[in-house]
């Protein structure tokens, strides 16, 4: 369905961009096709670019919790939400590295570190950079999510060896102000541009179940797919309603609708890792299996995601065994295998 040439596509190709521009109309046609056809298309695309039975394993640690000045309606760490979560100081570097060693021993190949900041302060950057360097020295991929970044901060992180930077767009541009008012959708895109300009890989996705429509979910993915370079990693979160937050009583997203979004993400961004992120504790094994069939090929391991619950290693191990899934090797090992070089 992506072979239809729109005027936008023709203009992009004439300008030398080999990627077709994805229109909302094209994405809606894919999303709303019969469910079995959608899954077949997504799995076909997935197998063209990935091992269909390999899942990339990441671990996420909160290195600075609570007290965030942003007013994100879904977040327990917002200072605007009376959730009872106390603000903490930035973790010591050695404690972060100790947790990273445990994650590597448990099979994670990427270590993600998140701080509840609007943006990092210069006084904290040296410790943050030391964390990146320490995790990188263990042979793991590194990822951070620290809020908005200036071009200079992005360059410093790149020079320290940071592989990925996470900064979710969360939802569509239309619906964004219903969830967050302390920063704009354009602010999000500016940080993604700063990350990409610094030479890092982008991790960016959104959250489902915040009161948005199917159109908003489609538009969010179209925005990501049409970036100058699509994100290498696309986390798709299911909202965890937290008492005290603005979205504490949000209506849950229907499981079939959730799978449709996973499938659309896979089709629109065929070479990206699509990650099942927050909300897996509320997903049945059957729903997770459908998501993997639809093209999801990355998860967070461990029993905690920042401040939320997550299935532990033993539960994931049982699910993987039941489905015949296996952890994906470190990306540098995959590239070495393809080139015939020793890692």
pLDDT tens for the chain, residues 1 to 343: 554 434 344 344 334 456 678 999 999 999 999 999 999 999 999 999 999 999 998 888 888 877 677 878 787 777 666 766 677 788 899 999 999 998 888 888 899 998 888 888 989 999 999 999 999 999 999 999 999 999 999 999 999 999 999 999 999 999 999 999 888 999 999 999 999 999 999 999 999 999 999 999 999 999 999 999 999 999 999 998 888 888 888 899 999 999 999 999 999 999 999 999 888 888 999 999 999 999 999 998 765 545 455 556 678 889 999 999 999 887 644 444 444 444 3
d(CA 32, CA 310): 30
d(CA 203, CA 275): 10
Report the catalytic residues: 68, 72, 75, 112, 143, 203, 275
Name the burial class of residue 337, with classes exposed (0-12), middle (13-18) and buried (19+) by CB atoms within 10 angstroms of its CB. Answer: exposed
pLDDT at 126: 93
Question: Could you tell me whether strands 164-166 and 201-203 are parallel, antiparallel, or unpaired per DSSP bridges?
Answer: parallel
Contact 318, 289 (CB under 8 A): no
Quote the pTM value: 0.86
pLDDT at 79: 63
Mention every residue, 6+ apart, whose C-beta is less than 8 A from residue 214. Answer: 31, 257, 260
pLDDT at 60: 87
| Run of H or E residues at 64 | strand 54-64
d(CA 3, CA 295): 20
d(CA 57, CA 300): 6
């Amino acid at each position: 369905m992506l072979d239809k040439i729109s005027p936008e596509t023709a203009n992009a190709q004439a300008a030398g961009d080999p990627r077709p521009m994805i229109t909302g109309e094209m994405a809606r046609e894919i999303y709303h096709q019969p469910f079995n056809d959608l899954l077949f298309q997504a799995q076909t695309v997935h197998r063209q670019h990935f091992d269909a039975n390999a899942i990339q394993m990441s671990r996420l640690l909160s290195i600075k919790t609570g007290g965030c000045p942003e007013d994100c309606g879904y977040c327990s760490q917002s200072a605007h939400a009376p959730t009872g979560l106390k603000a903490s100081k930035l973790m010591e570097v050695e404690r972060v590295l100790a947790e990273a060693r445990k994650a590597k021993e448990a099979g994670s190949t990427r270590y993600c570190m998140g701080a509840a900041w609007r943006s990092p302060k210069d006084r904290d950057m040296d410790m943050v950079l030391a964390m990146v360097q320490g995790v990188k020295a263990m042979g793991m991929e590194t990822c951070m999510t620290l809020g908005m970044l200036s071009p200079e901060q992005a360059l410093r992180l790149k020079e320290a060896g940071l592989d990925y930077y996470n900064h979710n767009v969360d939802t569509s541009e239309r619906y964004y102000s219903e969830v967050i008012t302390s920063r704009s959708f354009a602010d999000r895109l500016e940080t993604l541009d700063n990350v990409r300009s610094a030479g890092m890989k982008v991790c960016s996705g959104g959250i489902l179940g915040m009161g948005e429509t199917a159109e908003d979910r489609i538009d969010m993915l179209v925005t990501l797919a049409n970036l100058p370079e699509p994100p290498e990693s696309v986390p798709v979160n299911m909202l965890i309603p937290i008492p005290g937050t603005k979205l504490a009583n949000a209506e849950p997203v229907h499981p079939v609708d959730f799978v449709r979004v996973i499938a659309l993400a896979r089709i629109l961004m065929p070479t990206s890792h699509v990650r099942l992120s927050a909300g897996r504790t509320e997903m049945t094994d059957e729903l997770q299996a459908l998501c993997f069939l639809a093209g999801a090929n990355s998860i967070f391991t461990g029993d905690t995601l920042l401040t939320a619950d997550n299935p532990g290693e033993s539960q994931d191990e049982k699910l993987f065994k039941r489905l015949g899934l296996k952890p994906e090797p470190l990306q540098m090992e995959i590239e070495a295998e393809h080139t015939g070089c020793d890692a």
